[in-house]
Structure 1
Amino acid sequence: MLIRRHTFLAMGAATLAACGGGSTEKKGADSGASDAGGAEGAAPAVPKNADLVIWADEKKAAALQEPAKAWGESQGLTVAVQTVADELQSSFITANQAGNGPDLLLGAHDWIGNLVQNGAVSPVQLPAEAKKALAPVGLDAVTYDGQTYGMPYAVECIALFANKKLTDKPSPATIEELVEAGKAGGAETPLSLPVGEEGDPYAMHPLYTSAGGYLFGEKADGGLNPEDVGVGKDGSVSAGEKMQQLGKEGVLKTSITNDNAISLFTDGKAAYLISGPWALADIKKAKIDFELSPIPGFEGLEEARPFAGVNAFYVASKGKNAAFANQFVNAVAASPDLVEQMFAKNELPPVNLELQKKLADKHPEVVKFAQFAEKAEPMPSIPQMAAVWKPLGIAEANIIGGADPKSSMEGAGKAITDSIAG
């Protein structure tokens, strides 16, 4: 998967790491132009002989390896793509602050607030033609305080999978219709949606927004206002009431987690599944006759809006080769070729509109996810989002288990505002 809720949990660690200012180099780390990382997933030592160094996680580094090398050769440059398997964001901030980090980082858009707060990345100037070639959600996601901080290349969101053998409504218009059709089909559970004992606000966000909940209000300039926390307000309580009803009906269950949500669907035990493009491989392998559609909202209420997660290339503020880094970013922006080569090894929904059209015939579901993301809500990239995740998740899980929606949401809202206030 591309971006999940664990990215928020890493923010506090990233900030602490940045304050430490120490080097992340490890003995025995790879120093050549390869995707090898340091010992046990630690940050690698940046090779001194490379013209451009890029850090990414394991899957994206593997996908980027050959395309970046080929681009470098065409420019007469040596490019080193290195894997940082664990704590990529915090390792990057620490290494950049110490002056021994990479020139480019490939990472999630919701890191931007923390990266900017730590002075770790520089704004990028994307040509006007390049902006026209990209899906708006991608550009929105990498815009922070009115500036563009990354070159977006892939996007994901969650959607609704329906097992056509277990429901006669593969694209239900409302949650109520989904529940009725799921129960009528005789499946063990009508809907597989990961909740877990501590909740999963990422997966629950479409239901939360449909019932009127919001996380942060907006400023006059369109940016998010951390002083206006929506958790604990009326909309969140209404959302909690809807969640509690679904819990009573056995539709939402804390026993369904990220570990078993997909398998319940592929094993034929769930009529519907809410998940992302990372579920496609398992579903196809299980030979499920499925349909993919947007997640419906509650009848008569707001549209369901899942989170959109975008991955982007960031230019390090203290990279040794900023000119080459910007040259690479402009190359990615100017043509979909490099991203298409990456797609061959890591099938992430692209934000490049031309590439979406090109992939539509052979990879229709992947392109559908990219299209669904256009109506999704970019995950908040402000650092204060880190305070939201755990309290809201626990509140939602408790409500599904029978706790009072009003007091649970208000308690979560207070915990969030207290944490933001410091």
Structure 2
Amino acid sequence: MSLNRRSFLSMTAIATTLAAAAACGSDNTSTAASQAPAEATDGSTDEQVVRDTNADLVIWTDEVKAGALKDIAQQWGDEQDITVAVQTVANDELQSNFIAANSAGNGPDMIVAAHDWIGNLVQNGAISPITLDSAAESNYSQVALDAVTYDGQYYGVPYCVETLGLFVNTDLTDVTEPATIEELVEAGQASGADVVLSLPVGESGDAYHMEPLYTSGGGYLFGTKSDGSLDATDVGVGGEGSIAAAEKIGGLGEQGVLATSVTSDNAISLFTEGKAAYLISGPWALGDINTAGINFELSKIPGFEGMEDARPFAGVNAFYVAAAGANKAFAETFVADVAKDSTIAEAMYAINPLPPVQEDLASKLESSDANMVKFMEFAENADPMPAIPEMSAVWGPLGMAEANIVGGSDPESTMTSAGDEIRSTLGL
């Protein structure tokens, strides 16, 4: 398996404001399942798509997830004596097309997508809350439940999670579980590797991959309200903790441990070519690393000495019920079956392996796919990627600030300016 994280996660940065209204329509047929591109409506632009009117239950998702879902969806449809159509929509077009189609009444009954879309989808009235019974709740990891919770309600049924971990080239170093970043740096330098730590920074920044260092240094993105939900009026970028993190990140830049020349395009290959002692990446790196035959261990990402734990983002993929779906009852029945046990998630895993979020599936995978289960465990100490629409204002300024700091810019003024930009965008 060779996956880029963007095949799974769609940053909130692409979730800009979208209009919504509501209507619905339908056509029922016999038992079958299909996986086909959603087609353009007459007189529409090529980017607009509509539901397959020959199906009872219509699911939209991207190509990767559609490939994993279509067979089990067909089996489920056969058992229910209904037609299920799994339609492929390009991931970077799925959210906007879904909101527009749901508003026009020609959208799907369900979508499968990343949890950080939830805020924008709820804001646009595109998805409905769902109910999980106590048995389903107890089988899910807490981070998965937290990720699909918005305004105190569940809006999605999770099926997998991704987060970051630390890959260690055991041919270069025997320090496989460094307790601190400082210990990691020391071991990496002693290894003689060309690259101590392969972590994507890039010229424009990569706030996703930098998050564990940012949080360990004391930075946060948004504060929390008394009920635990995110407070979009409390922006942490530019605050005291973020400046402390910036100073630590700047120090790693000065040492050459972090470099803007390491990007999401070459970070994994530096490790698979044996040039890096350590790599911070996600489960999408496993395929390339195994193919390369690198001897490695996988462990949690350490934090800075004497500072906070390193907390990467967790991204959860989930099933959502369309608010204006033509056959909402079928969608609700399907998501109930997804949540009931790991049968559907396990079938999807066989086609597209991703870390599980259900305890029964994790137990089955423990002996055969231990590293995938490790990522599930790492995710329990990660923070769900903010699902609030305001997160779109954070990615660019924070990432650019971190890249500039790695490149030698003053940590305090650079991070303060990033915070000012974010607050200005949010009207704070």
TM tier, smaller = over 0.9
Distance in structure 1 (CA, Å) of the matches to 2:48 and 2:131? 28
Distance in structure 2 (CA, Å) of the matches to 1:295 and 1:310? 19
User: For residue 144 of structure 2, what is the amino acid of its counterpart?
Assistant: G
- Residue 29 of structure 1 corresponds to none
Provide structure 1 residue ranges, at least 5 long, that are not aligned to the other structure.
24-31
Choose the corresponding residue for 2:152, options 136, 146, 152. 146
Displacement of 1:44 in angstroms is 4.3
User: For residue 78 of structure 1, what is the amino acid of its counterpart?
Assistant: T
Distance in structure 1 (CA, Å) of the matches to 2:142 and 2:243? 31
Q: Equivalent residue of 2:197, what SS?
A: strand
Deviations 1:33-74 (A, max 9, x none): 422214799464312121100011111000000001101100
The answer as to 2:61 corresponding to 1:56 is: yes
- Residue 216 of structure 2 corresponds to 210
Mark the CA change 1:76 to 1:38 in structure 2 (over 3 Å): closer, same or farther: closer
User: For residue 69 of structure 1, what is the amino acid of its counterpart?
Assistant: Q
Displacement of 1:153 in angstroms is 0.7
- Residue 108 of structure 1 corresponds to 114
- Residue 27 of structure 1 corresponds to none
- Residue 259 of structure 1 corresponds to 265
The answer as to 2:92 corresponding to 1:74 is: no
Q: Equivalent residue of 1:62, what SS?
A: helix
State percent identity of aligned pairs. Answer: 60
User: For residue 63 of structure 2, what is the amino acid of its counterpart?
Assistant: E
Contact 1:36 1:83 (8 Å CA) reproduced: yes
Contact 1:109 1:141 (8 Å CA) reproduced: yes
- Residue 388 of structure 1 corresponds to 394
Mark the CA change 1:288 to 1:167 in structure 2 (over 3 Å): closer, same or farther: same
User: For residue 36 of structure 2, what is the amino acid of its counterpart?
Assistant: A
The answer as to 2:392 corresponding to 1:421 is: no
Distance in structure 1 (CA, Å) of the matches to 2:338 and 2:211? 31
- Residue 164 of structure 2 corresponds to 158
Mark the CA change 1:20 to 1:338 in structure 2 (over 3 Å): closer, same or farther: closer
Contact 2:49 2:101 (8 Å CA) reproduced: no
Mark the CA change 1:391 to 1:20 in structure 2 (over 3 Å): closer, same or farther: farther
Distance in structure 2 (CA, Å) of the matches to 1:271 and 1:324? 50
Distance in structure 1 (CA, Å) of the matches to 2:202 and 2:165? 19
Contact 2:198 2:279 (8 Å CA) reproduced: yes
Distance in structure 2 (CA, Å) of the matches to 1:235 and 1:202? 18
Distance in structure 1 (CA, Å) of the matches to 2:134 and 2:353? 27
Distance in structure 1 (CA, Å) of the matches to 2:325 and 2:266? 42
Contact 2:39 2:50 (8 Å CA) reproduced: no
The answer as to 2:296 corresponding to 1:290 is: yes
Distance in structure 2 (CA, Å) of the matches to 1:6 and 1:44? 19
Mark the CA change 1:195 to 1:306 in structure 2 (over 3 Å): closer, same or farther: same
Contact 1:10 1:90 (8 Å CA) reproduced: no
- Residue 47 of structure 1 corresponds to 52
Alpha-carbon RMSD across the aligned residues, in angstroms, is 1.8
Deviations 1:294-319 (A, max 9, x none): 00000111100000000000000000
Mark the CA change 1:419 to 1:5 in structure 2 (over 3 Å): closer, same or farther: farther
The answer as to 2:12 corresponding to 1:8 is: yes
User: For residue 121 of structure 2, what is the amino acid of its counterpart?
Assistant: L
Contact 1:195 1:257 (8 Å CA) reproduced: yes
Note the 1:3-402 alignment, pairs <5 A.
6-12=10-16, 15-16=17-18, 18=19, 33-38=33-38, 42=47, 44-85=49-90, 86-402=92-408
User: For residue 237 of structure 1, what is the amino acid of its counterpart?
Assistant: I
How many residue pairs were aligned? 411
Displacement of 1:87 in angstroms is 1.3
Contact 1:37 1:43 (8 Å CA) reproduced: no
Displacement of 1:396 in angstroms is 0.5
Displacement of 1:21 in angstroms is 9.2
Contact 1:137 1:373 (8 Å CA) reproduced: yes
Displacement of 1:7 in angstroms is 1.9
Displacement of 1:8 in angstroms is 1.6
Distance in structure 1 (CA, Å) of the matches to 2:280 and 2:297? 12
User: For residue 36 of structure 1, what is the amino acid of its counterpart?
Assistant: A
Distance in structure 1 (CA, Å) of the matches to 2:97 and 2:299? 38
Contact 1:42 1:84 (8 Å CA) reproduced: no
Displacement of 1:167 in angstroms is 1.0
Q: Equivalent residue of 1:351, what SS?
A: coil
Q: Which runs of 4+ in 1 moved over 6 A?
A: 20-23
Deviations 1:370-396 (A, max 9, x none): 111011000000100000000001100
Distance in structure 2 (CA, Å) of the matches to 1:20 and 1:395? 38
Distance in structure 1 (CA, Å) of the matches to 2:10 and 2:327? 31
User: For residue 62 of structure 2, what is the amino acid of its counterpart?
Assistant: D
TM-score (norm 1): 0.94
Distance in structure 2 (CA, Å) of the matches to 1:396 and 1:149? 33
Displacement of 1:22 in angstroms is 12
TM-score (norm 2): 0.93
Displacement of 1:364 in angstroms is 0.7
Q: Equivalent residue of 2:321, what SS?
A: strand
Q: Equivalent residue of 1:160, what SS?
A: strand
User: For residue 107 of structure 2, what is the amino acid of its counterpart?
Assistant: G
Distance in structure 2 (CA, Å) of the matches to 1:59 and 1:385? 25
Deviations 1:254-309 (A, max 9, x none): 00000000000000000000000000000000000000000000011110000000
Distance in structure 2 (CA, Å) of the matches to 1:20 and 1:391? 32
Mark the CA change 1:22 to 1:127 in structure 2 (over 3 Å): closer, same or farther: closer
Distance in structure 1 (CA, Å) of the matches to 2:317 and 2:38? 23
